[in-house]
C-alpha cells in the first residue's frame, strides 16, 4: 500500500510486478551476482504501476522512503561490520589465530542463525504484503488489515526452500569472491548485517538483506587493507545494484502490457 495506489492493484499488476522481479533475479542468479530481490520487487511494482495508471498511480512518498532505506542499508552494514571487526580483533590480539578460529567457528552458528532470522523477518514480509494486497483487491481480506496464516507459512517455506536449493552460485561469490573471510570476519559481517536488518524490520522498513550483507563483507575485508577486497567483484555487485530497479521496472511494465494484449 505504500508504493502503488490500491485502486490500481489487480491480478495483472501483481503478476507483472512479480514477473519483473523474478526475471531479473533469475538472470543475476545465473551469473552468480548477488542482487537485491527487494530492489527487483520494488522496481517491478513501480514499472507495473506506471503501466497501469501512469505516474500518478505511484505513491512517491512511500517509494522514495523505501528506495532511501534500501540504498542506506549497505552503508550501515559496512560501518557496523567494520567497527565490530576492529573491536573483536583488538580484544583477541593477544590470542593465537588458531584460538580465534576455534572460537568463531562456533560463534558463526549463532551469527548465521541471527542473520537468517533477520533475513526471513524482513524479506518474507515483502512477499506477504504483495499477496495480501491481491487478496484485498479481490475483497477477500476485508476489515482490519491482517495477513492470513497460510500466507505467512507459504512465504516462509518458499524462502527457505529457495535459499537451500538455489543460492549456491551466490553463496560462492559472497563467501570467497568478494574477500577471503576468516571465521572471525564472517561472524562480524553476519552480526553487523543482522543488526542492521533487524533494526529496519523493527521500524517496519523494507531493506535489501543481500546488499546489506555485501556491504558488511566489504567492511570486514577493508579492515585488513583496501587491497584485500576484490574490487572488480564489488564493482559487478554495485552495477547489478544500480541496474536492478530500472531493469525490473521495464520488465514489469512490459509484462503488464503483454497481459493486456494476450490474456
Handedness of CA 136, 138, 143, 149 (dihedral sign): negative
- The pTM for the full model equals 0.82
Cβ-based neighbour number of residue 2 at 10 Å? 13
Asked if residues 3 and 231 have their Cβ atoms less than 8 Å apart, the reply is no
Quick: pLDDT tens for 142-179. 666 678 888 888 888 888 887 777 666 667 666 667 88
Is residue 101 over pLDDT 80? yes
- Secondary structure element (H or E) that encloses residue 36, with its range: none
Cβ-based neighbour number of residue 249 at 10 Å? 25
Q: What are the C-alpha distances in Å from 186 to residues 14, 213, 214?
A: 37, 10, 11
Mean pLDDT of the chain: 86
Quick: pLDDT tens for 46-66. 999 999 999 999 999 888 888
Q: What is the pLDDT of residue 108?
A: 94
Average of per-residue pLDDT across 245-255: 94
First to last CA, the chain: 26
- DSSP letter assigned to residue 4: B
Quick: pLDDT tens for 104-127. 999 999 999 999 899 888 887 877
Q: What are the C-alpha distances in Å from 254 to residues 7, 18, 50?
A: 20, 12, 11
Is residue 34 over pLDDT 60? yes
In angstroms, the CA 51 to CA 152 distance is 29
Handedness of CA 69, 73, 79, 81 (dihedral sign): positive
Question: Domain segments of the chain: what residues?
Answer: 6-260
Q: What is the pLDDT of residue 19?
A: 94
Q: What is the pLDDT of residue 240?
A: 82
Percent above pLDDT 90 for the chain: 35
Is residue 69 over pLDDT 90? no
Amino acid at each position: 500500500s505504500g508504493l502503488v495506489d490500491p485502486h490500481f492493484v489487480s491480478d495483472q499488476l501483481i503478476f507483472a510486478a512479480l514477473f519483473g522481479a523474478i526475471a531479473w533475479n533469475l538472470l543475476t542468479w545465473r551469473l552468480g551476482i548477488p542482487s537485491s530481490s527487494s530492489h527487483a520487487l520494488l522496481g517491478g511494482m513501480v514499472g507495473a504501476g506506471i503501466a497501469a495508471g501512469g505516474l500518478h498511480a505511484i505513491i512517491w512518498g512511500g517509494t522514495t522512503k523505501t528506495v532511501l532505506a534500501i540504498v542506506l542499508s549497505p552503508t550501515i552494514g559496512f560501518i557496523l561490520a567494520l567497527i565490530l571487526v576492529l573491536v573483536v580483533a583488538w580484544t583477541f590480539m593477544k590470542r593465537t589465530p588458531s584460538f580465534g578460529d576455534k572460537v568463531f567457528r562456533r560463534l558463526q552458528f549463532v551469527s548465521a542463525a541471527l542473520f537468517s532470522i533477520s533475513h526471513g523477518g524482513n524479506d518474507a514480509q515483502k512477499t506477504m504484503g504483495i499477496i495480501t494486497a491481491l487478496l484485498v483487491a479481490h475483497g477477500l481480506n476485508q476489515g482490519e488489515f491482517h495477513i492470513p496464516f497460510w500466507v505467512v507459512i507459504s512465504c516462509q517455506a518458499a524462502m527457505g526452500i529457495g535459499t537451500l536449493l538455489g543460492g549456491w552460485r551466490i553463496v560462492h561469490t559472497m563467501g570467497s569472491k568478494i574477500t577471503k573471510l576468516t571465521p572471525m570476519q564472517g561472524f562480524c559481517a553476519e552480526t553487523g548485517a543482522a543488526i542492521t536488518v533487524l533494526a529496519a524490520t523493527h521500524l517496519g522498513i523494507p531493506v535489501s538483506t543481500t546488499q546489506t550483507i555485501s556491504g558488511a563483507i566489504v567492511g570486514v575485508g577493508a579492515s585488513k587493507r583496501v587491497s584485500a577486497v576484490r574490487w572488480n567483484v564489488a564493482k559487478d555487485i554495485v552495477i547489478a545494484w544500480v541496474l536492478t530497479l530500472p531493469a525490473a521496472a521495464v520488465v514489469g511494465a512490459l509484462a503488464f502490457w503483454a497481459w493486456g494484449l494476450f490474456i
